[in-house]
Amino acid sequence: MSGTAKTLNVFVTGGASGIGYGIGEYLAKQGHHIVIADINEEAAKQAAKKLNDLGLSAQSVQINVCDAQQVAALPAALSNTPIDILINNAGIQHVSKLEDFPAEKWQMLINVMLVGPALLTQAFLPHMRAQNFGRIINVGSIHSVIASPFKSAYVAAKHGLLGFAKTMALETGDVDVTINTLCPAYVKTPLVEQQIAAQAKENNMSEEDVINKIMLEPMPKKAFIEIDELAQTANFLIGSAAKNITGQTLILDGGWTAR
């Protein structure tokens, strides 16, 4: 195992599919126990079963990360598997110019991707502090550091994660707890597939043009980021070699922000 000799309990939000599932599967293969957390209870169960069927250690939990009472109840509900590693991955997207952006949808994106990670960190931090070990990994985005039109709520939430991580790094400086944010350029997930269709409609162009002229155009490497790259980066952050990496923004963008 990378940097640690013991099995760690890893809580992954939005863990039933996409980036969350990919990170969970990779860390399970390193010998860790994965708690697949998702708002879709059946999907979470199926994802955990898929890992179990591979001979890996996993369980599922249904959670709405925006529900403060539900989140606060998690440590007691998981008393047999106290959480050592928190992966804040749950995310949603809505593409629209601000004038047409439904107010409740804007609020929902902020709640899921910024308030949720804060609530979960608040819930799991006492155990991490008590045992003098914990890792919090936010799955941010290239949109944590740059902006795109028609994504005001998403960009605001993802930018907010960086400020949150920096603050928590200062508050946890006295213990072996770190918090960092992974910021990938576009990853080919169901969420991005939906974005391609939405962007095509909003920009009145073909989906192929959205991929080549909007998504990959700013990247010198012209390639989608692979989930495995994020999983391996997360695994590095868990290990002892990264114990002094905290409050940082790890950008996996194929050179996008080098311009």
Known catalytic residues?
154
Rounded CA gap, 60 and 46, in Å?
9
Give me Rg for the CA atoms of the chain. Answer: 18
User: In the numeric block, which tokens belong to residue 60?
Assistant: 């599922």
Name which of 243, 259, 13 is nearest 113 in CA terms. Answer: 13
C-alpha 104: how far from chain center: 22
* Beta-bridge partners for 193: none
* Beta-bridge partners for 138: 88, 181
Q: Given the structure tokens 């502090």, which residue do they identify?
A: 129
Rounded CA gap, 123 and 24, in Å?
20
Phi, psi of 193 (to 5 degrees): -60, -40
